[in-house]
Amino acid sequence: MLLFNDYRKMILDGIAAIYSDVRETDLTLDRSGHGDLTLRAFSLMKSHSVEAGKLAEDIKKELLPGGYIESIEVLGGYINFRLSTAMLMKAISAELDGTGRYPDVFQDPERVSVEHTSTNPTGPIHIGRIRNSIIGDALAKLLQRYGYRVTTQYFINDSGRQVASLYAGYRRFAGNKPLTTENLLKAYQEMHQETERNPDAEKDVDQVLREYESGNPQIMDSIRNICSVILGSINSTLEKLGIRIDDYTWESDFIRNGDVKKVLEQLSEHIREEDGALYVQSGDRKMFLTRNDGTSLYFSRDIAYHLYKMENFDWIIDVLGENHKEHARHIKYVMKNLLEKEARMDFVFYSYVSLETGKMTTRGGNIVTADELIDRAREEALSVVKAKRPDLPEDRLQEIANAVAVSAVRFHIGKLNANKQMVFKWSEALSLEGDSAPFIMYSYARAASILRKAQESRGDLSSHYDECESRLIKKMYLYPYALQEAVFGLKPEVLANYLLELTRTFNDFYSTCPVISAPDEERNRRIYILRAYTAIVKDAGTILGIRMLEEM
């Protein structure tokens, strides 16, 4: 089927046939409500010394016979084009009826790796880190929807200083306590305080690192064990949010299987030494690969990881906190310039989430965990749904509250531009109205409710559409465009904002276009519109982690 951009291209070609100097960027999607597409005629008026009216007359002669344009009108220096609503609606429903989904045009066989979360297994995941997971998962599902073969990846740091410190802390402070995330976190925080008081404690950590790296089986087992416990709780949090990681890769595996050594060999001609520690020069930075005691550093392990990903994927995407920007730049430099590995590599960075009281640190203990946020959102949702739906049984209320809570949390964090710093506020995070997931879900539930009640009808789509129908159809027609924009920019929030716009447009339709009580012909086509609407909302919701409910 033809997408919005295809029509844009057709119109552009038509104009170029008469006025070859038309600038591509002057024909855009119209957001002002004057048309569907608009041509800014200023430069053509100037270069041809004619009025916009004359341009429009010529363009009409060229384009109107094509049949897909309903009208071409001049307003000021703009020439506005309206596409035929009937044509767009027929295209959408043909696609839906034929393939079961709209759009069904994207297909890209490339294998894509999306690495996200990858948070150190030193404690529960907090609302800052969960931003990584939420962006990453939406991105993965978005690319998947676009047709890519996507695998999500988690790189588990079980061989760095933080984890060694966690282990040393556990041994020192909690050796005989049960192995739980809570006890481990406490020991980690105690160890942090201990090293602040007594720098000698750091030597413990150094010793652990050396033994771990040299393959001391007892320490290896213990650390794996500890990391697995914490990873288990991280995973259960992710699971609540509907996030699944396909591949877990342990950093230490690259040490054990010799890949880190291979990295050093492959880089040998670029490697320099300083006091026994090895580094490569990247721009004006020395990027250290090993410590002077021979133990590996994150940089070399991450190079090994990216080499591994390059062997298995065509496109590598990493979602990282903004503090990793330099690291990422140097990784890219080493891969491309020193190892001469060419692969499509993109990094998506997000800014930090802070609390009103300041920044969060796991070691400092001032964090809001993602579990806490989900729990409180669930309580909030439950009290709302209980008040609104006293007719529903308790277990159904719980289900609804859960779906609302999880969706609200994901949307609240996922709709924001990743570059923006975020100050977390409970009142905003727990809001279930306005620009929120429940706002979208509620509209979906209303549409679903009408579809349940309205009689099945399979009449032909008529050619006349009322304004409220037409606006919704045209917004729906932009769904593939929104998907594309989100994919090209690696910006799931673009889709989130589209979904809000679509919902507002639907609400307008809902309040002005009765369906069930409408005469046959009108009802038929409105049922078609509702089917398309629910399909699109569900589709987009799945990508963003919003769970649509048939009733709420």
Partner RNA sequence: GGGCCCGUGGCCUAGUCUGGAUAAGGCACCGUCCUUCUAAGUCGGUGAUCGUGGGUUCGAAUCCCACCGGGCCCGCCA
> Of 265-294, which residues contact RNA (CB under 7 A)?
274-277, 285-286, 288, 291-293
Please list, residue by residue across 398-414, b when 16 or more beta carbons sit within 10 angstroms of its beta carbon and e when fewer do. bbbbbbbbbbbbbbbbb
Provide the 8-state DSSP code for 65: G
CB of 266 to RNA, least distance (A): 19
Q: Which of residues 322-341 bind RNA (CB under 7 A)?
A: 322-327
CA distances from 105 to 3, 14, 115, 448 (A): 9, 24, 26, 26
302 contacts: CB under 8 Å, gap ≥ 6: 155, 327, 331
Q: Which of residues 298-327 bind RNA (CB under 7 A)?
A: 298-299, 322-327
* Interface pick for RNA out of 84, 228, 266, 351 (rule CB under 7 A): 351
Q: Which 3 state secondary structure label does DSSP give 47?
A: helix
Overall residue count recorded for the chain in this entry: 552
Q: Which of residues 150-169 bind RNA (CB under 7 A)?
A: 157, 159-162
Q: Which of residues 127-146 bind RNA (CB under 7 A)?
A: none
Q: Which of residues 355-414 bind RNA (CB under 7 A)?
A: 359, 381, 384-385, 388-389, 400, 404
Q: Which of residues 30-89 bind RNA (CB under 7 A)?
A: 30, 32-35, 38, 40, 42-43, 46, 75-78, 80
Judging by beta carbons within 10 Å of its beta carbon (0-12, 13-18, 19+), is residue 64 exposed, middle or buried? middle
- Tell me phi and psi for residue 123, to 5 degrees: 175, 175
Please list, residue by residue across 484-506, b when 16 or more beta carbons sit within 10 angstroms of its beta carbon and e when fewer do. bebbeebbbbbbbbbbbebbebb
25 binds RNA (CB under 7 A): yes
Q: Which of residues 500-539 bind RNA (CB under 7 A)?
A: 500, 504, 507-508, 510-511, 513-517
Q: Which of 66, 65, 69 is nearest to 37 (CA)?
A: 69
Q: Which is nearer to RNA, 111 or 216 (CB)?
A: 216
How many residues sit in the footprint of RNA (CB under 7 A)? 101
Cα separation, 418 vs 421, in Å, equals 8
Q: Which is nearer to RNA, 152 or 534 (CB)?
A: 534
Q: Which is nearer to RNA, 221 or 326 (CB)?
A: 326
CB of 111 to RNA, least distance (A): 25
How big, in percent rounded to 5, are the helix, strand and coil portions of the chain?
55, 15, 30
How far is C-alpha 247 from the chain's CA centre? 18
CB of 504 to RNA, least distance (A): 6
17 binds RNA (CB under 7 A): no
Q: Which is nearer to RNA, 74 or 95 (CB)?
A: 74
> Going residue by residue from 451 to 470, which x/- string records binding to RNA, judged by CB under 7 A?
--xx----------------
Q: Which is nearer to RNA, 117 or 157 (CB)?
A: 157
Q: Which of residues 102-131 bind RNA (CB under 7 A)?
A: 120
CB of 350 to RNA, least distance (A): 9
Q: Which is nearer to RNA, 165 or 233 (CB)?
A: 165
Q: Which is nearer to RNA, 177 or 325 (CB)?
A: 325
- Tell me phi and psi for residue 193, to 5 degrees: -65, -40
Q: Which is nearer to RNA, 16 or 91 (CB)?
A: 16
Q: Which of residues 195-224 bind RNA (CB under 7 A)?
A: none
Cα separation, 15 vs 12, in Å, equals 5
552 binds RNA (CB under 7 A): yes
Cα separation, 506 vs 501, in Å, equals 9
Q: Which is nearer to RNA, 225 or 383 (CB)?
A: 383
Q: What is the 3-state secondary structure (H, E, C) of 489-523?
A: HCCHHHHHHHHHHHHHHHHHHHHHCCCCCCCHHHH
> Going residue by residue from 409 to 448, which x/- string records binding to RNA, judged by CB under 7 A?
------xxx-xxxxx---xx--xxxxxx-xx--xx-xx-x
